[in-house]
């Protein structure tokens, strides 16, 4: 089993990282760090360049989370995927037998999240795994 974390280095994802590291350490399981982003549709060199840039941004963001997890003695697996974040998290949870999917929230109202399609809102409705939504701290929203 594993703990699966959606991480993008946003202020809302930092408390989720701390929670996911704590859970992974407590259950002695690896932390699967997932960065999912799907570039706008298209073909050709511009699309491929955009995709490469997003992938590099994801690797940089996740590398900071890996360092924090390793400092806490937690093993990590990294997945930078060219998929929409909710789908990337669901699929990674299946591949790694995720015990729970952990994501941060931005403190949006449920209505705003439903209308705008927040990742946490999508996961709560689509995932067959438990989803832990960690609210952003007051100074991080």
Q: What is the pLDDT of residue 57?
A: 80
Q: What is the pLDDT of residue 40?
A: 65
pLDDT digits (tens, 9 = 90+) for 75-113: 999 999 888 899 999 999 999 999 999 999 875 555 544
Token pair belonging to 3 = 């703990």
Q: Is 87 exposed, middle or buried (0-12, 13-18, 19+ CB in 10 A)?
A: middle
pLDDT digits (tens, 9 = 90+) for 29-85: 999 999 988 766 666 677 777 777 777 888 888 899 999 999 999 999 999 988 889
All domains of the chain in start order, with CATH = 2-134 (3.40.50.620)
């Amino acid at each position: 089993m594993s703990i699966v974390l959606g991480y993008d280095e946003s202020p809302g994802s930092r408390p989720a990282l701390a929670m996911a590291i704590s859970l992974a350490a407590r259950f002695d399981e690896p932390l699967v760090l997932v960065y999912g982003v799907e570039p706008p549709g298209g073909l050709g060199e511009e699309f491929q360049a955009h995709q490469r840039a997003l992938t590099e941004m994801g690797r940089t963001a996740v590398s900071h989370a890996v360092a924090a997890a390793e400092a806490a003695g937690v093993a990590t697996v990294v997945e930078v995927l060219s998929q929409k974040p909710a789908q990337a998290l669901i699929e990674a949870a299946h591949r790694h037998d995720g015990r729970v999917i952990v994501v941060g929230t931005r403190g949006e109202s449920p209505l705003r999240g439903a209308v705008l399609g927040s990742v946490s809102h999508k996961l709560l409705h689509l995932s067959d795994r438990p989803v832990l939504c960690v609210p952003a701290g007051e100074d991080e929203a």
